[in-house]
Structure 1
Amino acid sequence: MNRKSPAHRRPGRRAAVAAGLVLAVGLGVSTQVSAQASVHAPAKSSAAASQSVSGTSGQVVTRVADFYGAYIDAIGDYTDPDATLETVLRKHYLTPDFAKRLAAWEKKNGADGVLRAQNVPRKWTVTDNGAAGNGHEVIVTLTFGSGETAQKIKLFVLVERYNHIVDIGTTSNR
């Protein structure tokens, strides 16, 4: 018989090696779990820790949120605002009639008509406000500044049934 043949091996040694391997793997896993448990993860209650944005294709609230997000991004980059994108967004999301009325409002008030302000907001929220006439109303809340000096503006955005914005105002259309 050859010393390396399976018949010549000691079964006790094989069992000891297997037990040692199991113990080593077991200790490694438990050590790893202990190490992971001792590492402090960021608190999940923090808004910055876990943030998500979702939407639904064809949903009015999502459409208005998409418009305001892209619009604020386009004009909010003070080092390189994108006037071309601003124009394209207005053309895509606003009805032609409302775009004309908005331009007249802006000329009269010296402010951006989409935001109803001269500044760009720090954050915004978009909330469904339900049916209004032949369309749908969405509330856009813009927050300017931060801390104790933060100011909020609530806008009522009216969207027609073909998903184009037909009015933005400071009072509800309902």
Structure 2
Amino acid sequence: MNTTVKTRTTVKTRTSGKTRTAVAGATVLLAAAGGLTAAPAGAVTQAPSDTPPISHAARATAAETQVGTFFEEYRLAVLGEIDDPPQGVRRRYLSPALNLRLDDWQSRNDADPVFRTRAVPAFWSAREVAAAPGYATVALTQQWVDGPDREIRYTVRLADRRITDLEARPSP
């Protein structure tokens, strides 16, 4: 299965120094291992056999992409970082029946119906976990800086990529 990981831009900015350090460290390691040394003219060089070419990187499925895009936009709407309100984002990605169920869930639980809590997750990852004719199920794991992870299962109708259901997985 593929995994897509998203983080908030401010988190990436906050850790950009570590990213630069990691890249610099990887460059030093490559140079030390001979990976960045110049070869004599006409010499044949090879990449390590256990390093797959970049073209073999895992790609997200259409369902994973749809759920990830919805979740990112919805999260930004809740945080007020985009012009669309959360309900507008929901209308674009979710079926009308699911929207009604989420409104009902919100009124009974006094929490955000997508996050299933009052807090906004800092990180998330999505992976397709099941498929049936015309539908795919994507597990989206929400992560907070100082709390437990929560998995929400999304059902995506593949014909129009509309999200038709979501449910929280029971806590272990």
Flag whether TM exceeds 0.5 (same fold): yes
Deviation at 1:85, TM superposition (A): 3.1
1:81-109 CA distance string (max 9 Å, x none):
65743122100100001100110011011
Match of residue 9 from structure 1: none
SS at structure 2 position matched to 1:165: strand
Confirm or deny: 8 A CA contact 1:55 1:62 kept in the other structure. Answer: no
When residues 43 and 129 of structure 1 are mapped into structure 2, their CA distance, relative to the original with a 3 A threshold, is same
Which stretches of structure 1, 4 residues or longer, exceed 2 Å deviation after superposition?
Answer: 80-85
Counterparts of 1:66 and 1:128, CA distance in 2: 14
Q: CA RMSD in A?
A: 2.7
SS at structure 1 position matched to 2:141: strand
Normalising by the residue count of structure 2, what TM-score does the alignment of the two structures yield? 0.60
Which of 71, 77, 82 does residue 68 from structure 1 map onto?
71
Deviation at 1:132, TM superposition (A): 4.1
Which of 36, 39, 44 does residue 23 from structure 2 map onto?
44
When residues 45 and 167 of structure 1 are mapped into structure 2, their CA distance, relative to the original with a 3 A threshold, is farther
**Unaligned residue ranges in structure 1 (runs of 5+):** 1-40, 47-53
1:22-51 CA distance string (max 9 Å, x none):
xxxxxxxxxxxxxxxxxxx622399xxxxx
**Unaligned residue ranges in structure 2 (runs of 5+):** 1-19, 26-57
Counterparts of 1:163 and 1:85, CA distance in 2: 21
Counterparts of 2:88 and 2:24, CA distance in 1: 38
1:42-83 CA distance string (max 9 Å, x none):
22399xxxxxxx966x8110111011111111112xxx4657
Match of residue 50 from structure 1: none
Counterparts of 1:144 and 1:129, CA distance in 2: 22
When residues 43 and 160 of structure 1 are mapped into structure 2, their CA distance, relative to the original with a 3 A threshold, is same
Match of residue 24 from structure 1: none
Structure having the higher helix fraction is 1
Counterparts of 2:138 and 2:155, CA distance in 1: 6
Which aligned pairs between 1:115-130 and structure 2 lie closer than 5 A? 115-130=115-130
Match of residue 153 from structure 2: 156
Deviation at 1:160, TM superposition (A): 1.5
Equivalent position amino acid for 2:89 in 1: L
Q: What fraction of aligned residue pairs are identical, expressed as a percent?
A: 24
Task: Select the structure with the greater relative contact order (CA < 8 A; seq sep ≥ 6).
Answer: 2
Confirm or deny: 8 A CA contact 1:75 1:83 kept in the other structure. Answer: no
Counterparts of 1:59 and 1:113, CA distance in 2: 23
Equivalent position amino acid for 2:167 in 1: G
Counterparts of 2:24 and 2:144, CA distance in 1: 24
Match of residue 93 from structure 1: 93
Larger Rg: 1
